Amino acid sequence: MITRIVNATVLDLAADQTTLEPDRQVVIEDEAIVAVERSGTAPSAEERVFDAGGRVLMPGLIDGHVHVTAWNADLLAGAEVAPSYAAIRSAGLMRAMLDRGFTTVRDTGGADFGLARAIDEHRIPGPRLIFGGKALSQTGGHGDARSAGRQAALDDCCNALGQVADGVDEVYRTARNEIRRGAQHIKIMLGGGVASPTDKVSDLQYSPEEISAAVRVASNAGKYVAGHAYTTEAVRLGLELGVRSIEHGNLMDPSVFELFEQHDAYYVPTLSAYDAMAAAGAEVGLSAENLEKNQIVVEAGLRTLEAADRAGLKIVLGTDLLGSLQVHQSKEFLLRREVQSAEAILRSATTVAAELIGQQGNLGVIAPGASADLLVVDGNPLEDIGLLADPTRSIALLISRGRVHTDHLTSA
């Protein structure tokens, strides 16, 4: 099937300077873009044609930090249901992400090859799923969902976002097992977190030897390590030992910014998670201790993002929402516009995110040979990035891997 989008204004984010190119048409064959050219070529009778009416045509969005299996904000409760039930709940979450314009997501704890395969085979609608399996955590770390009174370990086949691996040998074994199961990156907990039950945000977690073991396993397989970290100390340790992306980083200071450049690393802030937990965390089951920890990081996140943006760090859009709070995914655009330009935010959700996951040239761009992940939107996101926060109104056409998912245009 050949699809042609005509009379489009193409948003080019791949060039050094972002441009809007009017009067363009994009030709799609199967799952790929085959041509981007000036309007004028007459379509054949067999082609499916959409007239964009001069609207902006932009690449599909990439969310660099999600948990598609976190259907419940109570992580322990979510881990104890049947895998079949969790998969069905995950399918609903993924479809909603695609509805919002996210045609690719990077899952940083929980998703596996089964969900990715179901998406790839079009068994269920959803964004392309870049997954890392279960995150690695020390006992009592951010990936250990057990309360202080629970003794039994969570089984390996359960639906937890993380798994416990203590000591160098266990980190080697667990990381290798995730690679065996198709993980495209390895996630480790470098420090404490908000939603975990028994640690503090300020905690340092994993020894240098354990971190190095995870990095070695990932590197040997041509993959990379993503590191959960809030504090300067945790961020510095991770970057110095080869961690490629820092997730969150709210409490880090500018003294570590140069390490990002030295190690070609990426920064993935997740502002909407803290905003949503502050507003409705208690309603979705977060404890008083969780909410206290959230207060520590919520205000610092915006300040750190502003400083990182000014310093020129490679910043990726992420959200990290749990349970029913995932409906606030698109609010990330509103939060970031307080300290970032619309162009910077758009790049963080397209070209920069694509670089992090090793898909530059294929994702986040509108060019021949790239994946046909496309949005036609009402309005100009360079002038009003907030329009992406209201996808039900702003998305006129959504194509994912060449397949039409949302169509509010009139087929010509």
Q: Give the burial class of 291: count Cβ atoms within 10 A of its Cβ; 0-12 exposed, 13-18 middle, 19 or more buried.
A: middle
Contacts (Cβ under 8 Å, ≥6 apart) of 170: none
Contacts (Cβ under 8 Å, ≥6 apart) of 45: none
| The domain defined by 2-60+364-407 carries CATH number 1.10.150.120 | no
88-143 pLDDT, tens digit per residue, is 999 999 999 999 999 999 999 999 999 999 999 999 999 999 999 999 999 988 87
Min mean pLDDT across 121-125, 195-199, 360-364 is at: 195-199
List, as one string, the DSSP characters of 268-307: E--HHHHHHHHHHTGGGT--HHHHHHHHHHHHHHHHHHHH
**pLDDT above 70: percentage of residues in the chain:** 96
At 233 the three-state DSSP class reads helix
Scored b (16 or more CB within 10 A) or e, 301-311 reads: bbebbeebbee
Reply yes or no on whether the pLDDT at 156 is more than 70.
no
How big is the chain by its Cα radius of gyration, in Å? 21
299-335 pLDDT, tens digit per residue, is 899 999 999 999 999 999 999 999 999 999 999 999 9
Task: With beta carbons less than 8 A apart as the criterion, state whether 201 and 219 touch.
Answer: no
At 136 the three-state DSSP class reads strand
pLDDT at 383: 97
Q: Where are the domains of the chain?
A: 2-60+364-407, 61-356
Write the class of the CATH domain 61-356.
Answer: alpha beta
At 265 the three-state DSSP class reads coil
